């Protein structure tokens, strides 16, 4: 009995052992199979990911391409107060691959709900064409969320970088444009093209956004009042060349990336080359002071009303001008004949050399490439006479501003700049110091006295000085009645800090405009008496100074 029981127990023991081993093998086989399947799937996905990673995505393909995004990168540009003028930001474009559309009718219904204003007849044609197309570029965050919630595989987002100009037209002639390949084609976008693609920190300019806005608004207003073809304004620090404002009209919106072929959109502040007329008389008198030929009180007697040079007459613009004038009075009252007499005392060689020192008659380097070059001037006795009052000799408004800075700042050479880091602290005197000491009180009298031609810019507390220039435009070798009217102002004349030049291209007389003096008197005059700088460019300058003067007085009080 005991033996039988043992056998049963032994049998049970053997049975249990065998069964346990069988279960272990089954479990092991299942785990091995699952592990093998998992490894195989991972391998397939890894191959696929490596393939995707090696692809070069074009704009018509799905995915984000880092090299493509990097190619679009350009550094931001800020003004002198670190306010953005140009900014590169991320943007998402939405494309559709018709080959991946499952339910075209459903997709169109959903898209119409999100984008009700789109032309869906055209969208349906593109879907039927079976080729990838861009459905929405620069999509808003709200619409991006809506369209991605549709979960349609045919909808393909593509992230890119875009160049934004938040102030639109305000800095257009300074900043310029880029093309569709992200290359600069004008302005700083062109001249700084390689740098903008490399540096990471924003590039800081010398311009002030607030002042630029105020200057542009006034120029737009008066371009309308005087029905001009265009105009330009430059405001520059007379001591270090920093340009605080540079405006040229008409301008454009660089966000639109339009090809501009109309020559009227030229940058009149830097690219336009003009005869500026009587603003050159300041250079003539300054040259005589620099050569120590005359003094402000030197008298010129029996000045004729006209001269003849190479068969052409040179006349006074004001027939009532006295025949006896001091050197100072010749500039204050803008005498043509007196300026000729002064230039003749200087002589051709010395006068030419002086203009070269000021940087007026040759080309000038600048931070943007749109800079005009003065037309070659053939010197001689008659050219010396005509150039003394700004006739026949050309230059740019930028060069006029540079020259007035040198004459006003004690004779130190300066280089106009737009980029903060380009400023050089080295100062070199190129004309005698006493030239400024003698010329500045005269420029002040042009504005402050009744005999001067710029009374409309006489604003209490600003000590404005300057010189007007009215010139007939030379078109295709013939002088016309169309004008280039300019006023170059210096302020304060007691210690010059700024040069403000206002140029109007082909202004017209306004019979309804009401003029008011700014010296506290009750003087009012309706209608422009003459189409001269004293009645339009000076008036624009006065209004600009009233707007920007308080800002300059507070923000730039420490300017040397």
Domain ranges of the chain: 1-54, 211-251+269-461+470-528+551-555
For 152, 207, 410, 425, 526, the CA distances from 496, given in Å and listed in that order, are 67, 19, 9, 18, 33
CA nearest 270: which of 363, 200, 393, 338? 363
Cα 429 from Cα 435, distance rounded (Å): 11
For residue 301, the SS3 value is coil
Q: Are 166 and 135 in contact (CB under 8 A)?
A: no
| Average pLDDT of every residue of the chain | 88
- pLDDT tens, residue by residue, 249-284: 999 999 988 888 899 999 999 999 999 999 999 999
Q: What is the average per-residue pLDDT within 340-353?
A: 97
Lowest mean pLDDT among 24-28, 524-528, 530-534: 24-28
Superfamily of domain 211-251+269-461+470-528+551-555 in the CATH hierarchy: DD-peptidase/beta-lactamase superfamily (3.40.710.10)
Residue of higher predicted confidence among 17 and 150? 150
**Cis peptide leading into 250, omega within 30 of 0?**
yes
Q: What is the pLDDT, as a whole number, of residue 560?
A: 56
DSSP string for residues in 191-258: HTHHHHTT--SPEEBS--HHHHHHHHHHHHHHHHHTT-SEEEEEEEETTT-BEEEEEEES---GGG--
Residue of higher predicted confidence among 535 and 523? 535
Q: pLDDT band for position 41 (50/70/90)?
A: low
- Enter the tokens of residue 268: 């009149």
DSSP string for residues in 239-259: TT-BEEEEEEES---GGG---
Q: Are 43 and 163 in contact (CB under 8 A)?
A: no
Residue of higher predicted confidence among 37 and 440? 440
Cα 421 from Cα 224, distance rounded (Å): 37
**What is the gyration radius of the CA atoms in the chain, in angstroms?**
37
Q: What is the pLDDT, as a whole number, of residue 310?
A: 84
Q: What is the pLDDT, as a whole number, of residue 85?
A: 97
* 2 contact partners, CB below 8 Å, separation of at least 6: none
- pLDDT tens, residue by residue, 153-178: 999 998 877 889 999 999 999 999 99
Lowest mean pLDDT among 9-13, 23-27, 133-137, 486-490: 9-13
Q: What is the pLDDT, as a whole number, of residue 20?
A: 47
Q: pLDDT band for position 181 (50/70/90)?
A: confident
Q: What is the average per-residue pLDDT within 122-140?
A: 90
Q: Are 531 and 506 in contact (CB under 8 A)?
A: no
Backbone angles phi, psi at 213, to 5 degrees: -65, -45
Residue 539 has pLDDT above 80, yes or no: yes
39: part of which helix (H) or strand (E)? helix 2-53
Q: What is the average per-residue pLDDT within 242-252?
A: 98
Lowest mean pLDDT among 112-116, 199-203, 420-424: 420-424
Residue 142: DSSP 8-state = H
Stated pTM of the model:
0.82
Lowest mean pLDDT among 56-65, 340-349, 488-497, 537-546: 56-65
Q: pLDDT band for position 64 (50/70/90)?
A: very low
Q: What is the average per-residue pLDDT within 215-238?
A: 98
Residue 39 has pLDDT above 80, yes or no: no
**8 CB neighbour count, 10 Å cutoff:** 10
Cα 170 from Cα 401, distance rounded (Å): 21
Q: What is the pLDDT, as a whole number, of residue 147?
A: 92
User: How many angstroms separate the first and last alpha carbons of the chain?
Assistant: 125
């Amino acid at each position: 009995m005991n033996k039988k029981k043992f056998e049963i127990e032994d049998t049970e023991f053997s049975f249990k052992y065998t069964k346990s081993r069988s279960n272990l093998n089954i479990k092991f086989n299942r785990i091995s199979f699952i592990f093998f399947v998992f490894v195989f799937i991972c391998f397939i996905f890894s191959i696929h990911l490596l393939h995707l990673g090696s692809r070069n995505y074009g704009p018509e393909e799905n995915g984000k391409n880092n090299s493509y995004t990097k190619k679009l990168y350009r550094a931001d540009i800020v003004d002198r107060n670190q306010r953005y003028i140009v900014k590169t930001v991320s943007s998402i474009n939405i494309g559709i691959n018709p080959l991946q559309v499952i339910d075209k009718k459903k997709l169109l219904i959903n898209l119409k709900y999100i984008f009700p204003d789109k032309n869906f007849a055209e969208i349906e044609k593109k879907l039927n064409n079976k080729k990838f197309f861009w459905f929405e570029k620069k999509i808003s965050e709200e619409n991006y969320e809506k369209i991605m919630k549709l979960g349609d595989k045919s909808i393909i987002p593509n992230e890119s970088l875009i160049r934004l100009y938040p102030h639109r037209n305000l800095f257009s002639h300074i900043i310029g444009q880029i093309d569709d390949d992200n290359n600069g084609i004008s302005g700083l976008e062109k001249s700084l093209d390689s740098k903008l693609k490399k540096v990471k920190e924003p590039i800081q300019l010398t311009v002030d956004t607030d002042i630029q806005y105020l200057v542009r608004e006034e120029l737009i207003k008066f371009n309308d009042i005087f029905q001009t073809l265009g105009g330009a304004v430059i405001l520059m620090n007379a001591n270090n060349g920093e340009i605080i404002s540079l405006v040229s009209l008409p301008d454009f919106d660089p966000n639109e990336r339009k090809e501009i072929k109309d020559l009227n959109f030229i940058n009149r502040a830097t690219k336009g080359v003009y005869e500026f007329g009587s603003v050159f008389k300041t250079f003539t008198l300054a040259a005589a002071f620099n050569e120590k030929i005359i003094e402000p009180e030197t008298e010129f007697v029996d000045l004729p009303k006209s001269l003849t040079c190479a068969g052409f007459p040179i006349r006074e613009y004001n027939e009532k001008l006295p025949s006896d004038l001091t050197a100072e009075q010749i500039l204050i009252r803008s005498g043509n004949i007196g300026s000729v007499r002064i230039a003749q005392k200087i002589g051709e060689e010395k006068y030419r050399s002086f203009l070269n020192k000021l940087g007026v008659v040759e080309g000038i380097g600048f931070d943007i490439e749109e800079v005009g070059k003065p037309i070659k001037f053939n010197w001689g006795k008659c050219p010396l006479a005509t150039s003394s009052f700004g006739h026949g000799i050309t230059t740019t408004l930028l060069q006029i501003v540079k020259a007035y800075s040198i004459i006003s700042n004690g004779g130190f050479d300066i280089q106009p700049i737009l980029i903060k880091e380009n400023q050089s602290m080295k100062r070199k005197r190129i004309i005698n110091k006493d030239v400024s000491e003698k010329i500045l009180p005269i420029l002040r009298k042009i504005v402050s006295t009744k005999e001067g031609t710029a009374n409309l810019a006489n604003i209490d507390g600003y000590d404005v000085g300057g010189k007007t220039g009215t010139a007939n435009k030379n078109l295709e070798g013939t002088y016309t009645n169309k004008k280039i009217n300019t006023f170059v102002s210096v302020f304060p004349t007691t210690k010059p800090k700024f040069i403000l030049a206002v140029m109007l291209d082909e202004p017209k007389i306004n019979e309804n405009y009401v003029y008011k003096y700014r010296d506290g008197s009750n003087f009012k005059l309706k209608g422009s008496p003459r189409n001269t700088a004293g009645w339009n460019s000076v008036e624009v300058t006065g209004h600009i100074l009233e707007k920007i003067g308080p800002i300059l007085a507070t923000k730039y009080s420490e300017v040397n």
